[in-house]
Homo-oligomer: A and B are copies of this chain.
Amino acid sequence: MPEKIVDAWGSSEVKIDAKLISQFGLKQFSQDELKHYKHYLFERGIIVAHRDFGLIDGRIKNKQKFLQVTGIAATGPLHLGHKVDVDLFVYLNSLGAKSYFVVSDIDAYTSRPSSSVPSMEAAKENAAADVADLLALGVEKSDIYVQSRKEPRYYEFAFELSKILTENEIKAIYGSLNPGKIAANLLQYADILHPQLKEFDGPMPSITGIGIEQDPHARAVRDIAHRLPYKFFSPSFIYFTHLPGLQQDKKMSKSEPDTAIFLGDSAKDIKRKINKAYSGGKDSVEEQRKYGANVEIDRAFAILNYHHPDTEFVNDVREKYSSGKMLSGELKQICTEFLTEMLAKHQEKVEKSKTTAEKIVYG
């Protein structure tokens, strides 16, 4: 009953282990695959499982065209958790993918509470800010679209999907038939599948990176792909673990700002949030020197692990911190400096991307 374990619309953290992976019918990456994909997201256990990655692997190794599709909902400012999705997208793009990055303005409005996204106008403002972040993170301008500015064939296709989806199917995934969520689904499934229409790139393997809590959607869209008359490939998926929230037992979330470092945070915000972040270090200097830290639960370490590009450096920090050679305060200092520099540079790029971003959203 995977639907009971995960909540596609919820905000609690899901622990991913070998048992969950096998229960979901996912596959772990082989040593060969991990060796081939030298990005730190693969090397550091952040990307943990897949469905049909072999199709994509074959395409990459034979230098054949393949698709990748990723999206974010335009519900507010992006945080470090989103950056993981974007970093993966930029990496797969560099491997030769024909890439689609959707910023979901319509479904952000139709599926979220009005307290979060009160109007389509608000969704578009969020979208413009998010697109500027994407551009600054290295997503190509021509790969980004918003749901409200697409070709008619895209919308026709989204509505077509309503003929294929059954009431029971939707109920099984959501437990409800809220019209706004049904509309969001039609759009999300269209986002993932429409690149395979002949009016776009035609049928071919596609890859999407998601968190495991999104797996009910992944399974639904893979099934739907075969029930359409278009000879689609079942989309492939890779699953990553979420960067944990700064506090205990919560994932980074737009709706709970103190759980996350946002890409627009100032040096002062960063310092304060990292200082307060949940630590795996011991309570006293003496104990820390003697027993070392539990890096697995340490939030400052997690940020380095998910975002610092230098794997040797991250391994060195892990060794020193877990053995007690490094104190929690020192680690937090390293993390704060790293983030401050990275985000200051990012924010400079965002400023330069704003005009392009507004063109993408408003035309």
User: A residues bordering B, Cβ < 8 Å?
Assistant: 106-107, 109-110, 114, 119-120, 147-150, 152-153, 155-156, 158-160, 162-163, 165-167, 170, 176-180, 182-184, 186-187, 229
Bound: A165/B149 CA distance, A: 23
Asked whether, in the complex, the Cβ of A106 is within 8 Å of the Cβ of B160, the reply is yes
Summarize A's interface: helix, strand, loop or mixed.
helix
Contacts of A158 in B (CB 8 A): 155
- In whole angstroms, what is the CA distance A49 to B155 when docked? 36
Residues of B within 8 A of A170 (CB): 179
Knowing A110-B160, A167-B177, say if A149 contacts B148 (CB, 8 Å). Answer: no
* Distance between Cα atoms of A160 and B107 in the complex (Å): 9
Q: Which residues of B contact A148 (CB under 8 A)?
A: 152-153, 156
CB-contact partner of A120 in B119, B155, B156, B176, under 8 A? B156
Q: Assuming A148-B152, A152-B148, A152-B150, is B160 touching A179 (CB within 8 A)?
A: no
Contact among B120, B152, B160, B167 for A109, CB-based, below 8 A: B160
Sorted nearest first, the 3 A-B pairs with minimum C-beta distance are: A162-B183, A155-B155, A177-B177
Return the chain B residue nearest A121 by Cβ.
B229
- B-side contacts of A167, CB under 8 Å: 176-179
How distant is the Cα of A118 from the Cα of B74 in the complex, in angstroms? Answer: 36
Are A180 and B152 touching (Cβ within 8 A)? no
21 example contacts (A-B, Cβ-Cβ < 8 A) are as follows A109-B160, A109-B163, A110-B160, A119-B229, A120-B160, A148-B153, A148-B156, A149-B152, A150-B152, A150-B155, A152-B155, A155-B155, A159-B187, A162-B179, A162-B180, A163-B180, A165-B179, A167-B179, A177-B177, A179-B182, A182-B182
Closest to A109 in B: B163
Least Cβ–Cβ distance between A178 and chain B, in angstroms: 6
A180: chain B residues at CB < 8 Å are 162-163
Q: Let me know if B110 and A162 touch, CB within 8 A.
A: yes
**Chain B min CB distance to A119 (Å):** 6
Complex Cα distance, B160 from A184, in Å, reads 10
Write the chain B residue with the least CB distance to A118.
B229
For the complex formed, measure the closest distance between the CB of A89 and the CB atoms of chain B, giving whole angstroms: 24
Q: Is the Cβ of A159 less than 8 Å from the Cβ of B119?
A: no
- Whether A179 and B166, one on each chain, are in contact in the complex, defined by CB atoms closer than 8 angstroms, is yes
